């Protein structure tokens, strides 16, 4: 038995019809955009061995590269079996990026890539991109699931254009591919200086390098509550702002301490709902 899904058609001037799939229940849009990130997904909820092909399409309007920016297509898959457990399923994806600037020409061909979902039923496939033209682009992704007794499967593909975090005397870059940028500034605007930088933890000082004033930790808890967590503590009562930025989405959280108040420890377990 095949799993059916609702299919919508996008029409773009000067380009062929692009098809994308949404959830069978219709509870999510086919296309959504946040800080320059485009995502579309296919969702099935019927126990099935024979799933429909993965056919996703989205576009970025007025794309413009920036010096030092990193560009990529990232597709994430998550599956469940009939018993709500996780199954290892093979996913194969390929695609192309097409210019919408009067030519409809393919500017990038995405090579075929395959992988199996892990014990949690998750898999990520990505393609780094270089030398993209500064015009309107459409991304077409095709692929297939290969598994048994799958009840639920979703593949989301996202175009990523981000300025990576760069470690510096006043900036911490934490987690994974240094995804989160952390900065601290006093109320008068003077920046805190980095005294220690690790993979997920770092610290700043305001007045003396021998005295740490703010300690920050970023935690990936996407598997727990679907969020990245921000923990920090400070050994000071000065007025300061701590700013954490997700360089992939542009989302930002700022934490303030008022002058004269001993800074409390902060454990923000809902800081960034930007997984994965």
Instruction: Give Cα separations from 255 to 124, 184, 226, 229, 242 (angstroms).
Output: 32, 9, 21, 13, 5
**pLDDT of 274 over the 50 cut:** yes
- Model pTM? 0.60
The pLDDT, as a whole number, for residue 5 is 33
Give the integer Cα–Cα distance in Å for 19 and 10. 6
pLDDT for position 102:
62
Residue 10, pLDDT > 70, answer no
H or E element that contains 226: none
Residue 121 — pLDDT band, cuts 50, 70, 90? confident
Q: Is the pLDDT of residue 45 over 50?
A: no
d(CA 90, CA 146): 5
- Checking if the pLDDT of 270 tops 90, the result is yes
SS3 labels along 230-275: EEEEECCCCCEEEEEEECCCCCEEEEEECCCCCCCCEEEEEEECCC
CATH class, domain 7-162, is mainly beta
- Please, what is the average pLDDT of the chain? 77
H-helix or E-strand containing 60? strand 54-60
Q: Would you kindly state where each structural domain of the chain is located, as residue ranges?
A: 7-162, 172-271
pLDDT band at 152 (very low <50, low <70, confident <90, very high): confident
Q: How many other C-beta atoms are found inside a 10 Å radius of the C-beta of residue 186?
A: 17
- Interval 69-87 mean pLDDT: 75
Question: 143 pLDDT exceeds 50?
Answer: yes
């Amino acid at each position: 038995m095949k799993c059916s899904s609702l299919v919508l058609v996008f029409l773009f001037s000067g380009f062929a019809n692009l098809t994308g799939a949404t959830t069978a229940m219709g509870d999510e849009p086919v296309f959504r955009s946040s800080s320059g990130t485009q995502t579309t997904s296919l969702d099935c909820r019927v126990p099935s061995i024979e799933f429909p092909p993965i056919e996703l399409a989205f576009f970025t309007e007025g794309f413009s590269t920036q010096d030092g920016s990193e560009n990529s297509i990232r597709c994430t898959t998550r599956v469940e079996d009939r018993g709500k457990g996780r199954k290892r399923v093979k996913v194969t994806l390929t695609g192309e990026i097409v210019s919408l600037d009067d030519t409809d020409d393919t500017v990038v061909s995405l090579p075929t890539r395959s992988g199996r979902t892990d014990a949690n039923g998750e898999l990520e496939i990505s393609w780094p991109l270089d030398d993209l033209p500064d015009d309107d682009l459409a991304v077409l992704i095709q692929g297939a699931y290969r598994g048994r007794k799958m009840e639920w499967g979703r593949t989301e593909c996202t175009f990523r254009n981000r300025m990576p975090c760069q470690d510096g005397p006043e900036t911490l870059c934490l987690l994974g591919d240094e995804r989160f940028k952390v900065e601290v500034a006093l109320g008068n605007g003077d920046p805190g200086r980095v005294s220690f930088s690790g993979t997920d933890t770092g610290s700043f000082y305001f007045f003396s390098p021998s005295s740490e004033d703010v300690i920050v930790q970023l935690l990936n808890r996407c598997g727990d509550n679907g969020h990245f967590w921000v923990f920090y503590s400070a050994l000071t009562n000065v007025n300061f702002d701590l700013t954490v930025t997700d360089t992939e989405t542009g989302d930002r959280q700022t934490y303030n301490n008022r002058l004269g108040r001993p800074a409390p420890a902060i454990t923000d377990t809902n800081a960034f709902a930007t997984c994965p």
